[in-house]
């Protein structure tokens, strides 16, 4: 049977990358000083699995490379070698190298042999180093092993080939059956080799009363004739070595005596039984890695396979919990049942079946909704996909900067849409780099400030409403509002005597062209960073906030929608148009009376709600839609929305009802429009625009300022 091994490659690669990530995080934890055996074992297991898999699936370069890593890790695991920082660094480098190597193989590119050799050499230097006392034995690479072993087999076959066959005395110990071995099966195997005969010796079988049926009391003498090598015979018995007395003699021509070729004694582990060891190695070569021909046939060469698999298959596939798929399949089943029920009703429909039809339709609606939920669930990934890369980043950068920094990850299992996961990585990297570079002080400065020497950066993720919130909290020096304002004035970004709240002052760092770093480093931005970060997050439908206390630290919070594909919305009518207001931003909807309304000179209108003045945005005016009959806020409805803590009232004609809408990109189909985040198609086929509340408020404020200035 020939099996196409390439079908397992994708799983194998994914597993390798996961293993590498685990190794990396394990290695990073190792160097914090506390050496724990379980941790080393986890790292070892990562290398071990990759080696095993790559050997089986035909990636011999990878197997060779991981073999060296594994050897080093094995010595660490057994305590034969100390875990030193240089060794950890080399291993970390090797993890990177292996990752690059696997990526290249996966994408069908050629592997950078120079880099591979460099790390392999570095690993070998570590291995041969005196760090662990005894230098590591030079192990042959797994690739050369079988060839060497095969030679031995050939050599031994050359002079061990008897002319006629073998005579085997097989006397199992009582416990032989307890390992699951069965003499009958072994004899059957022997019978396949050649012409065989067997005689049983039952003289040791006790009487019925003493007989323990679980013990093997029989022994056998076997004869096998034919052109059979000792190797083949030994292989049949290789698993019962130590569980029996075995004496294999060549069948000889009458008159000629040949000494016993070999007698296997129990406990062949003892070092002096050199013969047993060689024999084992041969067996292994035969069962394990021998027969390179057949391997070649069944395992497609990596090159062939690479051309077959699409280049970007890695990032487009997704690993899903089986439970999620099962739930979805259940639902599909329900929908099918409902559909056939509806089909039955419609076949001979009479008015008295109306109730039934309605029930069916509402069932269908419920199932569709659940199904949608399930499908969305499949796209949800834990944020740890992003977070897991940061320990390495922090490790590398803090070493470079000479700072001591501990990274805490909280809420790694918080789930978020795959698309968000992919897009949030770069902004987060940027923010963390900023915290590392500008936030956390040098150890000496921290001590002088009376803070612990080691700074802390905490990454925290949690769900709030329909959003995921990601916080980056550092206990560094914090932002100095006066310095920020001075800088902004100097750069001409704000007027000299501007009165800014703390919040507004901190927001300055998001302005284009603003950078407070006294010196530009290669680690964080050159003043082009934060505004881009904010822009990217806003493009994802999120927002970013910053809270800071001088000398205490900074917290940056990012709010992002859980999914970009579907939102809960409230449809509202404005003139002849329908708009969708995202439900998450709506606080309440109310009718106002004339008395509540106030005109504020130069600042538009506002209304008083529970002792708070809330500005009103007339949607007709913003979008230039002719009002139908409701031209005064008191005639329509005010939808109170929240925008970063501040309230705002949208004046619309009427509320049409909440609904889930599928977001279609406006940028992809038309172009970006301020105040609009996308569009959707309604049940009747018409198109409704989805409001981007923060953008709309900004846009409207600017318009008001313009008109009042005019």
Partner 1 sequence: MASILAVDDSASMRKMVAFTLKGAGYEVEEAVDGVDALTKAQIKKFDCIVTDVNMPNKDGIALIRDLRSLPDYKYIPMLMLTTESGIEKKQEGKAAGATGWIVKPFDPEQLLRTLKKVLG
Contact residues for partner 1, defined by CB under 8 A:
1-3, 5, 7-9, 11-12, 14-15, 42, 44-45, 48-49, 51-53, 55-57, 63, 142, 145, 177-182, 184-185, 188-189, 214, 238-239, 242-243, 268-269, 277, 280-281, 284, 287-289, 291, 294-295, 298-299
CB of 2 to partner 1, least distance (A): 8
CB of 191 to partner 1, least distance (A): 13
CB of 265 to partner 1, least distance (A): 14
Q: Can you name the residues that pair with 596 across neighbouring β-strands?
A: none
Distance CA 145, CA 235 (A): 19
CB of 250 to partner 1, least distance (A): 24
CB nearer to partner 1: give 16 or 508.
16
Distance CA 554, CA 556 (A): 7
Distance CA 63, CA 57 (A): 10
Residue the block writes with tokens 């679980």: 214
> CA 270, 273, 278, 282: dihedral to nearest 10 degrees?
-70
Helix (H, G, I), strand (E, B), or coil: what is residue 458?
A: strand
CB of 55 to partner 1, least distance (A): 3
Burial of 246: CB neighbours in 10 Å, binned 0-12, 13-18, 19+: buried
Closest C-alpha to 268, from 279, 253, 257, 252: 279
Distance CA 220, CA 562 (A): 71
Q: How far is CA 65 from the centre of its chain?
A: 23
CB 690: neighbour CB atoms within 10 A? 22
Q: How far is CA 303 from the centre of its chain?
A: 26
CB nearer to partner 1: give 55 or 439.
55
Active-site residue (options: 434, 438, 559, 620): 434
CB of 77 to partner 1, least distance (A): 11
Active-site residue (options: 9, 48, 395, 559): 48
CB of 527 to partner 1, least distance (A): 46
CB nearer to partner 1: give 4 or 112.
4
Q: Is 48 a catalytic residue?
A: yes
CB of 283 to partner 1, least distance (A): 9
CB nearer to partner 1: give 81 or 395.
81
**Which strands make up the sheet holding 553-561, listed edge to edge?**
405-410, 455-464, 467-474, 553-561, 543-549
Rounded CA Rg of the chain: 37
Distance CA 446, CA 680 (A): 53
What are 543-548's contacts with CB under 8 Å, separation 24+? 543/644, 543/694, 544/510, 545/644, 546/479, 546/503, 546/506, 546/507, 546/509, 546/510, 547/503, 547/506, 548/478, 548/479, 548/502, 548/506
Could you tell me whether strands 219-225 and 195-201 are parallel, antiparallel, or unpaired per DSSP bridges?
A: antiparallel
**H or E, element range at 557:** strand 553-561
CB 503: neighbour CB atoms within 10 A? 14
CB of 59 to partner 1, least distance (A): 10
What's the angle, vertex CA 428, arms to CA 427 and CA 429, rounded to 5?
Answer: 90
Q: Is 267 a catalytic residue?
A: no
Distance CA 504, CA 485 (A): 10
CB of 67 to partner 1, least distance (A): 9
Q: Is 496 a catalytic residue?
A: no
Q: Which residues of 428-444 are buried (b: 16+ CB within 10 A; e: fewer)?
A: bebbbbbbbbbbbbebe
Active-site residue (options: 9, 24, 67, 70): 70
Burial of 587: CB neighbours in 10 Å, binned 0-12, 13-18, 19+: middle
CA 213 vs CA 89, 108, 175, 285: distances in Å = 58, 59, 11, 36
- Residues designated catalytic: 48, 70, 434
């Amino acid at each position: 049977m020939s099996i196409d091994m390439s079908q397992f490659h994708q799983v194998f690669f994914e597993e390798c990358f996961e293993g590498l990530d685990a190794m990396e995080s394990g290695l990073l934890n190792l160097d914090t000083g506390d050496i724990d055996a379980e941790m080393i074992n986890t790292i070892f297991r990562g290398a071990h699995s990759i080696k095993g898999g790559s050997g089986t699936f035909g990636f011999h370069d990878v197997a060779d490379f991981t073999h060296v890593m594994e050897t080093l890790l094995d010595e660490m695991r057994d305590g034969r070698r100390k875990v030193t920082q240089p060794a950890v660094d080399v291993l970390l480098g090797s993890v990177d190298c292996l990752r690059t190597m696997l990526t290249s193989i996966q994408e069908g590119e050629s592997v950078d042999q120079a880099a591979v050799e460099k790390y392999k050499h570095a690993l070998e230097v570590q291995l041969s180093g005196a760090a662990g006392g005894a230098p590591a034995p030079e192990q042959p690479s797994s690739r050369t092993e079988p060839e060497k072993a095969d030679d031995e087999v050939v050599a031994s076959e050359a002079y061990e080939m008897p002319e006629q066959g073998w005579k085997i005395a097989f006397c199992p110990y009582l416990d032989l059956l307890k390992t699951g071995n069965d003499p009958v099966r072994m004899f059957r195997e022997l019978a396949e080799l050649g012409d065989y005969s067997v005689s049983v010796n039952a003289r040791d079988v006790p009487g019925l009363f003493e007989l323990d049926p679980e013990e093997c009391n029989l022994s056998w003498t076997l004869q096998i004739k034919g052109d059979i090598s000792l190797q083949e015979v030994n292989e049949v018995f290789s698993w019962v070595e130590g569980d029996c007395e075995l004496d294999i003699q060549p069948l000889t021509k009458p008159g000629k005596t040949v000494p016993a070729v070999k007698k296997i004694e129990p406990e062949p582990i003892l070092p002096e039984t050199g013969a047993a060891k060689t024999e084992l190695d041969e067996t292994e070569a035969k069962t394990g890695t021998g027969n390179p021909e057949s391997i070649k046939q069944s395992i497609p060469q990596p090159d062939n396979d690479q051309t077959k698999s699409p280049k970007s298959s890695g990032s487009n596939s997704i690993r899903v919990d089986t439970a999620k798929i099962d739930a979805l399949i259940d639902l599909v089943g329900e929908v099918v049942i409902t559909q056939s029920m509806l089909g039955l009703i419609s076949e001979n429909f009479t008015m008295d079946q109306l109730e039934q039809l309605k029930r069916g339709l509402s069932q269908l609606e419920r199932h569709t909704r659940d199904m949608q939920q399930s499908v969305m669930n499949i796209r949800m990934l834990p944020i740890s996909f992003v977070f897991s890369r940061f320990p390495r980043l922090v490790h590398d950068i803090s070493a470079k900067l000479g700072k001591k920094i501990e990274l805490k990850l909280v809420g790694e299992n918080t789930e978020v849409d795959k698309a968000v996961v992919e897009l949030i990585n770069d902004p987060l990297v940027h923010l963390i780099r900023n915290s590392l570079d500008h936030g956390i002080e040098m150890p000496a400065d921290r001590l002088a400030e009376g803070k612990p020497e080691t700074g802390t950066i905490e990454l925290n993720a949690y769900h709030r409403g329909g959003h995921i919130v990601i916080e980056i909290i550092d206990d560094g020096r914090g932002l100095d509002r006066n310095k920020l304002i001075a800088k902004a004035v100097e750069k001409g970004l704000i007027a000299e005597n501007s009165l800014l709240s703390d919040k507004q002052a901190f927001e300055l760092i998001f302005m284009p062209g603003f950078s407070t770093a006294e010196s530009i480093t290669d680690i964080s931005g050159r003043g082009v960073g934060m505004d881009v970060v904010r822009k990217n997050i806003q493009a994802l439908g999120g927002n970013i906030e910053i809270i800071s206390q001088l000398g205490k630290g900074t917290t940056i919070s990012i709010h992002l929608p859980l999914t970009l594909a579907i939102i809960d919305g409230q449809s509202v009518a404005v003139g002849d148009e329908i708009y969708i207001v995202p439900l998450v931003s709506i606080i309440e909807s109310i009718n106002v009376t004339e008395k509540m309304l106030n005109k504020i000179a130069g600042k538009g209108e506002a209304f008083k709600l529970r002792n708070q003045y809330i500005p009103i945005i007339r949607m007709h005016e913003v979008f230039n839609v002719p009002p139908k009959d409701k031209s005064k806020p008191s005639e329509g409805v005010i939808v109170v929305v929240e925008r970063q803590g501040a309230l705002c009232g949208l004046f619309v004609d009427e509320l049409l009802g909440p609904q889930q809408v599928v977001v279609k990109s406006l940028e992809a189909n038309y172009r970006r429009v301020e105040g609009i985040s996308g569009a959707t198609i309604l049940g009747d086929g018409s198109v409704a625009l989805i409001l981007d509340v923060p953008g709309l408020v900004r846009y409207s404020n600017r318009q008001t300022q313009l008109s009042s200035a005019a």
